[in-house]
Amino acid sequence: MTHTALDSTRQDAARLQAAAHALDQARMLRQPLDQGQIELRGVEEAYAVQAAGMALREARGERQYGIKMGFTSRAKMQQMGVSEMIAGRLGEAGRAEDGGELSRAAFIHPRIEPEIAFLLSRDLGEDTDATPGPDELARAVDAVAPALEIIDSRYRDFRFDLPAVVADNTSAAAFVVGAWQPVRPMLDTLGLLMHLPQPQRTVCGCTAAILGDPWRALAAAVRLANRHGLPLRAGAIVMAGAATAAEPLPERGLVTLEMSGLGRVQLHVVP
């Protein structure tokens, strides 16, 4: 490598590290950034910033808990104006207890969305390019559960393009998973109701909205994890992506997601 090539590699690494720090600070101080404050040249760099951001959290003692998919439904793509699937990392600190409390003050402008979660019984991917088939996927999953995700973009007004949202760990903020249920091959026709307070309302949807079948979101998670170096280990959870557009997280009150045949999951939002 010539001196200039080496210099520019160093500059690139420093630029990506600076982006990870800026997003990390925005998250901890709850002060949103403008997308223009983060300079990224494509999706590869964005996943590198995401990994660096999780490394900062791990250095503070946090453990990675799994992977979340984003933009696996048309409703989400349309809401956010991004039309490609993305993957992010779930940190232990974002995990809430089913029926437990979640403090809204921890976030900038949180939204909530209905999802379905898979619990992995074995490692998936890493050194294979192949997409696992349905049987292999089913063997790699111990259980499934209804889940709620809280997203909270670190960008002002939730405005971002694809690389920016990937670098921001796909807006991941918190999640809660209901009681694990035995694996079933058919997950594509489960009706869901998300009840929200203030004002009292119910959003309804169907798991078919998730790529036609949430199992496809798991296959896509394996592909993206392989391509971009996200770990998918036994014991990890994989969130399939929202089945409906996200709703603003209420200021306070009980949010309940009911999923036909899979039970329900709840959160008490407190100010």
Residues making contact with ligand OOG (CB under 6 A) = 68, 70-71, 76, 80, 113, 149, 151, 153, 158, 165, 170-171, 241-242
Burial 133-163 (b: 16+ CB within 10 A, else e): eeeebeebbebbbbbbbbbbbbbbebebebb
Closest distance of CB 183 from Mg ion, Å: 21
Stretch that binds Mg ion, among 34-42, 125-133, 228-236, 242-250 (CB under 5 A): 242-250
Q: Which two tokens stand for residue 51?
A: 């990994």
Q: Does 242 bind Mg ion (CB under 5 A)?
A: yes
Cβ proximity to Mg ion: between 113 and 258 the closer is 113
Q: Which residue has the tokens 């800026």?
A: 22
CA distances from 269 to 33, 42, 128, 162, 251 (A): 25, 36, 41, 29, 7
Q: What is the smallest separation between the CB atom of 1 and ligand OOG, expressed in angstroms?
A: 37
16/174 with CB nearer Mg ion: 174
State both tokens at 112.
């909530």
For ligand OOG, the closer CB: 15 or 159: 159
Pick between residue 133 and residue 212 the one whose CB is nearest to ligand OOG.
Answer: 212
Cα torsion angle, 130, 136, 138, 143, sign: negative
Q: Binders of Mg ion among 87-116, rule CB under 5 A?
A: none
Size of the site for Mg ion (CB under 5 A): 2
Distance of closest approach, residue 230 Cβ to ligand OOG, in angstroms: 14
Q: Smallest distance, Å, CB 72 to Mg ion?
A: 8
d(CA 148, CA 258): 10
Residue nearest to Mg ion (CB): 149
Q: Which residue has the tokens 């619990």?
A: 119
Residue 266: name its binding partner from ligand OOG, Mg ion, none (Cβ under 5 to 8 Å by kind): none
Tell me how far, at minimum, the Cβ of 113 lies from Mg ion, in Å: 5
Give which of Mg ion, ligand OOG, none residue 71 binds (C-beta under 5 to 8 Å, depending on kind): ligand OOG
CA–CA gap between residue 225 and residue 67 (Å, rounded)? 8
Q: Is the Cβ of residue 71 or residue 215 nearer to ligand OOG in the bound state?
A: 71
- The number of residues in the chain equals 271
| Three-state SS sequence of 88-117 | EEEEHHHEECCCCEEEHHHCCCCEEEEEEE
Residues 148-167 that bind Mg ion (CB under 5 A): 149
Quick one: 35 or 170, whose CB is closer to ligand OOG? 170
